Structure 1
């Protein structure tokens, strides 16, 4: 089977792939992540996942390249990674007591062929106090995360309800990733260890 390449520097995506038993190398994609004029959040997220996968696939022939992108969307507005402490505080105040969408796309490219899926998860935050927002931002955790929070870290205490894929909110929808890999001829379970004796 073709070697797997993850076109992302995200440690969270690497951890999720390791969780399902994948063996892979990491080759982050260098693409322009600027939204196009009038582009919907759904189109933006899926386009970036595909562009990342295809960019690395062009440099790594004979591999299966996995690209992914995640955006936090509040009332139709994409909340990216905060530019600084003040923007992180502003984002978290906006998310406080509100329901937002986490859109994560995953794409698998082989040569110039690319298949992708988009997963949208509804996440609701409880009301957040200003002092806990400031303590969270001071921890540094929000600074490299879309929407200024990480559900798998300290920010998990803000989430009062989740409808959809937890792993997609972390950064990679595992069920859909495994399905795309299986369709590409790489069922993830072939690498699972066996503790049963012959």
Structure 2
């Protein structure tokens, strides 16, 4: 079976991928700098960043299957990435309060040996609760806002910020497992444990 490489330093993506395929992968962190790209829709942007992360890691290795992802939160058409400090997190959460938002992930599966690449996206609709300034302050004090798209972590205490979800829960946590499983099947990896070909 080809070596699987997760191109991410994210602990939650590591945990989610372990849920899907077990601890049978390596982590090679991408050094790609997620710069702003003008003129792209949120969907096109996350797919662009996902491809670039995978390509960056592919340049460091000779073989293997790379998995990379990029997730943003979109509110009223505005892309909300990771907050830059406490004040930024507070502004983000105030904007998200009571709104219906979207978590959008781009995900890439790249076979270094063959050069083949699949990049797709997943969208999950989220209804956020109304949040007072006091509530927001308490949540920021948990430390969960740091490094999280939209300044919240649904798999932690941030679960109480979310009233309803339509779509893939795991996408909100940063790795859409159902879509990823279908993509891995296309390159010959059966997440239930059997290699289906394409060696």
After TM superposition, the score normalised by the length of structure 2 is 0.93
**RMSD across aligned C-alpha pairs, in angstroms?**
1.1
Q: How many angstroms apart in 1 are the aligned matches of 2:45 and 2:25?
A: 26
1:127 partner SS: coil
1:14 equivalent in alignment to 2:6: no
Match of 1:174 among 177, 183, 190: 177
CA contact (8 A) 1:54 1:114 kept: no
- How far did 1:132 drift? 1.1
Equivalents in 1 of 2:59, 2:21: separation in Å?
25
Q: In the alignment, which residue of structure 2 is the partner of 1:156?
A: 159
The separation in 2 between residues aligned to 1:96 and 1:117, in whole angstroms, is 29
Are residues 1:138 and 2:125 paired? no
Secondary structure at the aligned position of 1:45 is classed as helix
Classify the secondary structure of the residue corresponding to 1:71: strand
Q: Deviations over 1:107-142 (max 9, x none)?
A: 011123210110000001111121110011111110
Gaps of 5+ in 1: 192-198
Q: Distance in 1 between matches of 2:183 and 2:59?
A: 19
SS in 1 for 2:50: helix
Q: Which residue of 2 aligns with 1:25?
A: 26
Aligned counterpart, 1:185:
188
Question: 4+ residue runs of structure 1 moved beyond 4 angstroms?
Answer: none
Question: 1:94-133 counterparts in 2 under 5 A?
Answer: 94-111=95-112, 112-133=115-136
- Deviation digits for residues 157-188 of structure 1 (CA, Å, limit 9, x no counterpart): 01111101000100100011111111101111
Partner of 1:196: none
Q: Secondary structure of the residue that 1:20 maps to in structure 2?
A: helix
In the alignment, the residues of structure 2 paired with residue 53 and residue 21 of structure 1 have an alpha-carbon distance, to the nearest angstrom, of 19
* Structure number having the greater helix percentage: 1
Give the SS at the match of 1:128: coil
Q: Where do 5+ consecutive residues of structure 2 fail to align?
A: 195-199
Q: Secondary structure at the match of 2:29?
A: coil
Residues in 2 aligned to 1:72 and 1:43: alpha-carbon distance in whole angstroms: 14
The answer for the alignment partner of 1:57 in structure 2 is 58
Name the counterpart of 2:48: 47
Alpha-carbon separation, structure 1, partners of 2:186 and 2:13: 20
